[in-house]
Amino acid sequence: MLEPTVLIVGAGTFGTSAAYHLAKTYNDPSRVTVVDRWDPSSREPKTAAAIDVNRIIRTDYVNPLYCNLANEAIHPWFWDVDLGHFFHKSGWVVLDEKGNDFSRNVRRTFQQRGSDYTKDVDVQSLGKRWEALDGIQTKDLGDAYFNPEAGWCDAASATARFMSVAERKGVKRVTAEIKELEFDRSQRRVVGLRTADGQILKADKIVLASGAWTSKLLTPIEDALRLAEEQRIERQIRAVGRLSAYYTLSPHETSRMCEADVPILVYGDRGILTPPSQENRTLKINDLRTEFVNTVNTASGRAISVPSTRNQHDVPEKLKLEMEDLLRAMIPAIASTRKPDRWRVCWDAVTPTGDWLLCRHPYPQLENVHIAVGGNFSSYKSVFRASHSYKERQTKSALATDSCQ
């Protein structure tokens, strides 16, 4: 019996993961097709969350379920032939704000698992230990710890590698701007998609791994089916933008930071610093507080959240000024003498609970549509290992059910 065809919409974190693992389990991977607007070999800037100079890999969760998933996922980053050389095991330092018990609760979860590698950190000695943190504002900080097992990966290269492995096994890759999902009104179901240049691609199963663009694709179908408000995707995810600042360091500055083993630094709930590598020479700061939502009205008059069409590196001055307050508090030794060399707005799909949204669409006529979104700016670490088994089982179970019918 032929395996059902699968059309994966989006080649970011979830889409690439699905393609990679279906390529390994399908007898005929050529029945799997991935569609994305960007050519994977292109180095042009991309707005997807999975395509960046780095993404953090760590296991630090209070919730035991997520801690276990992250621990399952982190080990391949240490030794996997497709992943290992993209990973930088820098460790990370977590600084709590006063009154926040995140550090204590995470370490308790580690202890309950029997795998606590963390160490106490003296907040007042940060600048002495790492020159880049000299002068960091600490008056509002409380507990802190260091986890040597954490690190970061070259996300753009790792994602491209995974997709290339899937393609070598037979998965088809189509580079095209997606105009809309193809809705068969006689069957009242989604049968594929239409690209901006007029191509129509069809499949038995559709996997929407379209991240922050998911509402834009799915809302017209929901309108056609007249779904109730509580059944719509916008109730489950929202397209959110966050701001990052990047400093391009000199070879000498990079060497000093690398030799000092500067770790990832979590500055309360305000920001995250990711150190450079000798290769990328990039110091990156993520602003965790400055979030924004771009809302548009659809043809039906419904308001949905979608990423802005504005160039991701064209950041409004107001947002830059707001983030510069964070930079002066977090890395005053650097921010007092220079401004970031570039800025970037990164978009992702955020869920109300912070959980992934991995499921078959609950509406009966959309049962061939699978949703794989909800990165919440923090899923890259796990998705290539921990979530794939669920997605694989869930997708193949649905295929088997349909075959029996």
List the domain boundaries for the chain. 6-404
Helix, strand, or coil (residue 284): strand
DSSP annotation string for 135-148: T---TTEEEEEEET
| 100-109, 240-249, 360-369: least confident range | 360-369
pLDDT on residue 188: 79
Q: How far apart are CA 377 and CA 291, in angstroms?
A: 11
Q: Report which residue type is found at 241.
A: G
* Contact status, residue 142 vs residue 266, Cβ threshold 8 Å: no
Cβ neighbors of 141 (< 8 A, separation 6 or more) are 95, 96, 97, 98, 123, 268
Kindly tell me if the per-residue pLDDT of 45 is higher than 70.
no
pLDDT on residue 42: 64
Average confidence (pLDDT) over 190-218 = 96
Q: Exposure of 356 by Cβ count < 10 A (0-12 exposed, 13-18 middle, 19+ buried)?
A: buried
277-331 pLDDT, tens per residue? 999 999 999 999 988 999 999 988 999 999 999 999 999 999 999 999 999 999 9
Kindly tell me if the per-residue pLDDT of 390 is higher than 50.
no
pLDDT on residue 47: 58
pLDDT on residue 49: 58
pLDDT band at residue 400 under the 50/70/90 scheme? very low
Helix, strand, or coil (residue 109): helix
Which contiguous run of DSSP H or E holds residue 288? Answer: strand 282-292
Q: Report which residue type is found at 54.
A: N
DSSP-derived letter for residue 97 is E
pLDDT on residue 19: 94
* Contact status, residue 344 vs residue 243, Cβ threshold 8 Å: yes
What is the reported pTM?
0.91
Kindly tell me if the per-residue pLDDT of 156 is higher than 70.
yes
Kindly tell me if the per-residue pLDDT of 133 is higher than 60.
yes
> Considering the chain, what is the average pLDDT of its residues?
90
Average confidence (pLDDT) over 265-284 = 97
pLDDT on residue 405: 25
By C-alpha distance, which of 5, 60, 67, 76 is closest to 35? 5
pLDDT on residue 72: 87
pLDDT on residue 272: 97
Neighbours of 97 (CB within 10 A): 14
- The token pair at 318 is 């107001």
375-388 pLDDT, tens per residue? 998 888 766 664 45
Average confidence (pLDDT) over 174-187 = 92
CATH (residue range 6-404): 3.50.50.60
Q: How far apart are CA 264 and CA 284, in angstroms?
A: 10
